[in-house]
Chain A
């Protein structure tokens, strides 16, 4: 169990978050997520998994059907604490009649940032996102990439303790994406907690300390990248010769057979050796033995098989319907 003191140290501690939309549509079915302070946390999942709904509940944009937990130590939905949170929604829109500089000033004023600090911070963040020269241009003349950069600056204007970014690199070119990754790492270095929702798995892999995979409104996997991937190894043994006759025997050993490739999942190398011995005993040639470590993409694809049907991955926290809070 997570100790009480540890629980209060979470930047984000979501407990049993449920959301049912009209028509009995269950967007979230009891989500538990914990994000440590100062870490970069990635939320991933297929379309319709409930990622945006979860983020919107965190930001009070959507009202949960049921939710417990805390954000920055205050109950979920605490409005005062929103002053310490920066948010970039997916497909955000800013009033077209405002200039970039005024957008930052307006939203920072709503976040209760004093006027003197607004001016100073606007100049700083416009510079960081490379938008200084566009500060006095109306945002309805901005490209999508420019809007995205302005959105990131907007999310940082209140000097937040927690930044929630929904698809932050959407519309950005590769150089700008790299810059955003650098910015996230710099924010982390300064102690900012970052909650990232992105479908770009390679980017999440590059910056995230921990991730959660959301499928069908439930957390299918959650943990550090190491936790999630270190036990998810499989060995692919490519054979030459008549493998079909041995297929049942391999399957009895817990392996799967696809053509000439026999796959053995897990770290148990004795099973790999047993397959090799059986193959050699049947006079088959061993062409190659390749260990394959799971990437986030593999984890996601596997999780998308359904939380009820997904195979257990040792070491990874899991959560299925009816389970209580995932903690160990």
Chain B
């Protein structure tokens, strides 16, 4: 009863924030833009036929074309539009949840109810993630339907992007909540969680550069340092790979199909080979090690936040 009361309350609180509707509209616009694209043999039309061009690459009738389209949706739209921009907006939107709850006069009434502080904290934490769950579900389901009905590409694995986006958000949200309960300031929570996200991203980006340009790997000390740093959870950088991998699981899709390699120039071929090697390396990784270690990090941060919240006077 108490859990549902807090969940429903958080939904109402989310719904009351303009940013909630901004992100929903953003998802709708992206889905509409995707729906405006139509493939007809080697022809691609945009904006419901206003502009047309030929493309061998983005042809859903071929395996390579399908892979490129799904990859494009996962990396460009899902991970950039919703995963980065959307999550920054969501961090901003949800950073106020705890400080608002902890305002004088509000927290007094809540703590006077027969609900323990750790439970109140945990339920509120979970209900904060409801915000991103709603957004991720709307975006992924809309784009899933567009890909299916307009492009003829049905990829059930793509729906796994919903929990992955929630997971990506939760790696940052735990930091935001910890800062929020320590400082009772939404601004501090936003700034620190974005700074921490930047710190998470730096080693992953650097590692990507090292792997894309093997010549750089001769700087062994730097390369090893970056590898170690990139190993430290939470592994936000693994989420796009996992999203692409799971989106294509159980389908005939291949991120680097043979059709793509045929007719490629020598330079392109070298780059594609390297990309395929990297992809194979990623595929060898056990995703549960990445998710498990990141979740362990999240659990530690959440318990730290809970401990602070439980010990505080209001």
Interface residues of A (CB under 8 A from B): 21, 56, 59-63, 79-83, 85, 87, 89-98, 102, 106-107, 109-112, 114-115, 154
Known: A109-B4, A154-B109. 4 other contacts (CB 8 A): A61-B314, A90-B105, A94-B106, A106-B9
Chain A residue contacts of B5, Cβ below 8 A: 106, 109-110
Assembly CA distance A95 to B13 (angstroms): 8
- Identify which of B103, B110, B114 contacts A80 (C-beta below 8 A): B114
Chain B residue contacts of A90, Cβ below 8 A: 105
Is residue B53 within 8 Å, beta carbon to beta carbon, of the partner chain?
Answer: no
- Chain B stretch 96-119: residues in CB contact (< 8 A) with chain A: 100, 103-116
Is residue B251 within 8 Å, beta carbon to beta carbon, of the partner chain?
Answer: no
Is residue B313 within 8 Å, beta carbon to beta carbon, of the partner chain?
Answer: yes
List, sorted by A's number, 26 A–B pairs whose CB atoms are closer than 8 Å.
A56-B314, A59-B112, A60-B111, A61-B313, A62-B314, A79-B114, A80-B114, A82-B114, A87-B108, A89-B112, A91-B104, A92-B106, A92-B108, A92-B109, A93-B106, A97-B13, A97-B16, A98-B12, A106-B9, A110-B2, A110-B6, A110-B110, A110-B114, A111-B114, A112-B2, A154-B109
Contact yes or no, A92 B112, CB < 8 A: no
Assembly CA distance A61 to B117 (angstroms): 10
Chain B residue contacts of A87, Cβ below 8 A: 108-109, 112
Contact yes or no, A59 B115, CB < 8 A: no
> Which of B13, B15, B108, B110 has the most chain A CB atoms closer than 10 A to its own CB?
B108
The smallest C-beta distance from A89 to any residue of chain B, in angstroms, reads: 4
Contact yes or no, B2 A89, CB < 8 A: no
Assembly CA distance A80 to B109 (angstroms): 15
Is residue B266 within 8 Å, beta carbon to beta carbon, of the partner chain?
Answer: no
Is residue B1 within 8 Å, beta carbon to beta carbon, of the partner chain?
Answer: yes
Chain A residue contacts of B107, Cβ below 8 A: 61
Classify chain B's interface size: 20 to 34
The smallest C-beta distance from A15 to any residue of chain B, in angstroms, reads: 20
Contact yes or no, B113 A61, CB < 8 A: no
Contact yes or no, A89 B13, CB < 8 A: no
Contact yes or no, B13 A56, CB < 8 A: no
7 shortest interchain CB distances as A-B pairs: A109-B5, A97-B16, A89-B108, A93-B105, A110-B113, A87-B112, A83-B114
Chain A residue contacts of B105, Cβ below 8 A: 89-93
Main secondary structure on chain B at its contact with chain A?
helix
Contact yes or no, B116 A79, CB < 8 A: yes
> Which of A21, A90, A91, A110 has the most chain B CB atoms closer than 10 A to its own CB?
A110
The answer to whether A110 and B115 touch (CB under 8 A), given A61-B314, A62-B314, A63-B313, is: yes
Residue of chain B at shortest CB distance from A113: B1
Assembly CA distance A63 to B4 (angstroms): 27
Assembly CA distance A286 to B103 (angstroms): 61
Assembly CA distance A107 to B100 (angstroms): 16
Contact yes or no, A79 B108, CB < 8 A: no
The smallest C-beta distance from A55 to any residue of chain B, in angstroms, reads: 9
Contact yes or no, B108 A107, CB < 8 A: no
Chain B residue contacts of A98, Cβ below 8 A: 9, 12
- Identify which of A62, A96, A107 contacts B113 (C-beta below 8 A): A107
- Identify which of B15, B16, B109, B313 contacts A89 (C-beta below 8 A): B109
Chain A residue contacts of B111, Cβ below 8 A: 59-61
Residue of chain B at shortest CB distance from A93: B105
Contact yes or no, B113 A97, CB < 8 A: no
Residue of chain B at shortest CB distance from A114: B1
Interface string of B69-111 (1 = CB under 8 A from A): 0000000000000000000000000000000100111111111
Contact yes or no, B108 A61, CB < 8 A: yes
- Chain B stretch 295-314: residues in CB contact (< 8 A) with chain A: 311, 313-314
Chain B residue contacts of A82, Cβ below 8 A: 112-114
- Identify which of B1, B110, B116, B311 contacts A112 (C-beta below 8 A): B1
Assembly CA distance A80 to B110 (angstroms): 14
The answer to whether A93 and B115 touch (CB under 8 A), given A109-B2, A154-B109, is: no
